[in-house]
Structure 1
Amino acid sequence: MFSKKRDWLPKKFILRLTLLNTIVVTTFILVTGWAIYNTACFLVEGMVMEVERQDQFKSTLFEYLLLVSLFAVVVGSVLHFYLTNKLIGPLKELIKSTQKMKEGFYPDPIQIHASDEMAQLIDHFNQLVEQLKVNEQQRQRIVSDLSHEFRTPLSNLNGYLNALKNGVIEGDPKLYQSLLNESKRITKLVEQMAQLKQWDVESGQLLSQKEHINIAILLEQSAEMFRWLWNKEGIRCDIQADSQHVHVNIGGISQVISNLVDNAIRYYKGKNPVTIKGESLNQVYKVSITGEGQPIPQAEQEKIFDRFHRVDNSRSRDLGGSGLGLAISKEIIERHNGKIGLISDGSNHTFWFTVPIKD
């Protein structure tokens, strides 16, 4: 019913337009016919001709003009309706597309076969729809990223607080400082959530604030945040980090380290310790996290940093993974002009990344 109603709207407009044009054309034809008729009658009256023949001439001329006028009005109106209907076809597509958007769907691009003003309007409409789709994808992407980033620090806080409550572990200044850092990180994420509409994913605004920090300390603090989880899973952790100051976004690099450590614990399968190593090379600082886990096929290694990609979908869902952590890490590292990658040898996997030592 609604579809027929929408289809009827352009036709009503065309009919009104045709009716208006018919009235104008009919008026013009009638005036012209009246002028021709009276002029011809005036000329005939000036000729030497019988009255009967003059009357016959006037009658024939009147009938002829009347038929021609009616024919011109009918043919002109039909032709006008057909051409206008054809010309206004893109407008009908535009109406359908806007109605589809009103119902919450993104319409397919409208095809353009001309270069007039109507084509320009449709082209602008197509661009608008495409921009709206991109904006929606970016919004969903940001919300999904932030939701993923909330999970790790909240899990750590809950785990430590439960352990402290039950007397499983005893608190110390180092642990409290780590918990405070995680709390601040969550607060920062909440602030970013509140400013969601002002974000621009592609501009790199999330990493615009950089500070000088000893990355070795950052590695130790990030690993310490997982101490409770290391103990719970019975995994040993060895840290070997060269002392080196770098100019980075501390929150962003902390997220990368946390994501990689979290993956190493979450997918750990073996007996050897997880090794966290930091090396000062020529112009970059390289961080590598090595641990044992399930084999990763070569084809999967090339896609592992893609957004929402999981090596084992069913297993990842059971463990709470969303396939975002490594994609987010890659994005952060690339915005630091660094590199990130994976070296896999059977069940031994090394996730590494580099950041420039000098900004």
Structure 2
Amino acid sequence: MTEPLMFISASFEKRLKPCGELPALSKRSEEWGIDLMHIKRWMFWRERLAMKLILINGLVIAVVIWLVGVSVKDFACSVVGQYELVGKGGSGFFNETMDVFLWRASILAILFAAIIHYVFIRNVLSPLKQLTKSTQLMMEGYHPELVPPQSNDEIGRLTRHFNEFAKTLQRTEENRKRLLSNISHELRTPLSNLNGYLEALSSGVLEGNRELYQSLLEESQYLTRLVEQLHELTVWEARKNSSMVLEEVNIHELLQQSILSFQLESEKRGILLNVSIQEGIIICEEDGIKQVMNNLLQNAFMYSTGRGIRVTGKRERSVYRITVSNQGEPIPEEVRDLVFERFYRVDPSRRREQHRYGTGLGLSIVKEIMGRFDGQVGLDSDGTFHHFWVRFPLNEKK
């Protein structure tokens, strides 16, 4: 009697274990056939869409053939039963013949339908298999080849959307790598200069003077501007997919405030600001417009070779156009769209004078912000006189 009691006690203790601890199947349970692995092997069709469709279609065809066959047989037997057949076993022979005929016809019909259905399903699911394979490669960090669309149905549209998604993802990855490369390149020169000068000062090779300290300050200020603008660019990129807090903005007052903040810079550089602004109400985020104007004016002051900068704002039907014009170094027509890209400079040699020519991120931030407002940005130039402009939708009710 002790062995059964011990068995019951052990079983009761196992039941008291937490649900998360599932004991392995015992030999006795395997002998009884309680093995989920074998069940899963027989349920393989649940993991394949083609097998599901074939089984469902085969089941429907079999039911239809069986119903039609039974109906035809019953009808034929009822018709034949009205007539007296020759011989004693005439009726039985007829029934047996009908059974054989119906079985053969049913089997052949099911096989023929299954073959046609398999070929059709294979062609339909082929692009889905390619999409699945490409998706797995993308999850592993690779850029697979685009899947060619084979139709104009839902699967064809899904394939085209997947290809567009893959292209966008690849462009994003390329932009990320290019951005990292540009950042490392931009940081290398000023950091090398700072390290070199500081090392020379600490070792006594150089003696500090006003010009040296001014040079170190300019390098430090450049690094500060670069980090700040990288932060601004990151912030606006992060806000791209977030909801906007739109408000009515008096563009005339906002532009006057932005221009006033550059009055000291204008007097310091001896550059005259010529302003002509029309009234207008736009729907946007006020801090975004301030950032746009700040970057456009900074760009004009930084690259201007003349004695004046002109700022105009005017209504053009359903949009409001702001233009900041200045005289500067020639910008070839074929690269005018590139000036709004990150770290792009018309003259790469200007990198040596970073304290004067900026980080190469100001206009790209303008482009990012304008994209958020569904606005437009562009550059018109006659060679040496450049017009940087942006356009916002107007609030037509005002």
Is 1:39 the counterpart of 2:66? The answer is: no
Q: Partner residue of 2:153? A: 116
Is 1:244 the counterpart of 2:271? The answer is: yes
Q: Partner residue of 1:134? A: 171
**Secondary structure of 2:208's aligned partner:** coil
Q: Partner residue of 1:171? A: 209
Q: Partner residue of 1:103? A: 140
Is 1:18 the counterpart of 2:45? The answer is: no
Q: Partner residue of 1:280? A: 307
Alpha-carbon distance between aligned partners in 1 of 2:343 and 2:229, rounded to the nearest angstrom: 22
Report deviation, 1:15. Answer: 2.9
Q: Pairwise mapping of residues 75-114 of structure 1 onto structure 2 (< 5 A)?
A: 75-114=112-151
Partner deviation per Cα, 1:38-79 (whole Å, 9 max, x = no partner): 222222222233442222211111111111111101111011
Q: Pairwise mapping of residues 316-355 of structure 1 onto structure 2 (< 5 A)?
A: 328=360, 337=379
**Secondary structure of 1:108's aligned partner:** coil
Distance 1:185 1:81, change over 3 A: same
Q: Does the 8 Å contact 1:112/1:119 carry over to 2?
A: yes
Report deviation, 1:108. Answer: 2.1
Partner deviation per Cα, 1:242-264 (whole Å, 9 max, x = no partner): x325687499759988xxxxxxx
Distance 1:278 1:254, change over 3 A: closer
Q: Does the 8 Å contact 1:330/1:340 carry over to 2?
A: no
Is 1:52 the counterpart of 2:89? The answer is: yes
Alpha-carbon distance between aligned partners in 1 of 2:45 and 2:200, rounded to the nearest angstrom: 68
1:149 to 168, 183, 186: 186
Alpha-carbon distance between aligned partners in 2 of 1:196 and 1:24, rounded to the nearest angstrom: 59
What count of residue pairs does the alignment treat as equivalent? 268
Q: Partner residue of 1:183? A: 220
2:101 to 47, 64, 68: 64
Report deviation, 1:93. Answer: 1.6
Partner deviation per Cα, 1:117-139 (whole Å, 9 max, x = no partner): 11111111111111111211222
| Structure 1: stretches of 5+ with no match in the other structure | 1-7, 204-208, 219-242, 258-276, 289-304, 310-315, 342-352
Q: Does the 8 Å contact 1:337/1:355 carry over to 2?
A: yes
1:160 to 175, 181, 197: 197
| Structure 2: stretches of 5+ with no match in the other structure | 1-43, 241-257, 274-292, 311-324, 330-338, 368-376, 391-398
Distance 1:339 1:330, change over 3 A: farther
Q: Does the 8 Å contact 1:146/1:193 carry over to 2?
A: no
Residue identity (%): 28
Alpha-carbon distance between aligned partners in 1 of 2:188 and 2:297, rounded to the nearest angstrom: 15
Partner deviation per Cα, 1:150-194 (whole Å, 9 max, x = no partner): 12322332343334432624333x654553343233234334445
Q: Does the 8 Å contact 1:145/1:328 carry over to 2?
A: no
Letter in 2 for 1:30: W
**Secondary structure of 1:88's aligned partner:** helix
Distance 1:285 1:43, change over 3 A: closer
Alpha-carbon distance between aligned partners in 2 of 1:58 and 1:9, rounded to the nearest angstrom: 38
Q: Does the 8 Å contact 1:339/1:354 carry over to 2?
A: yes
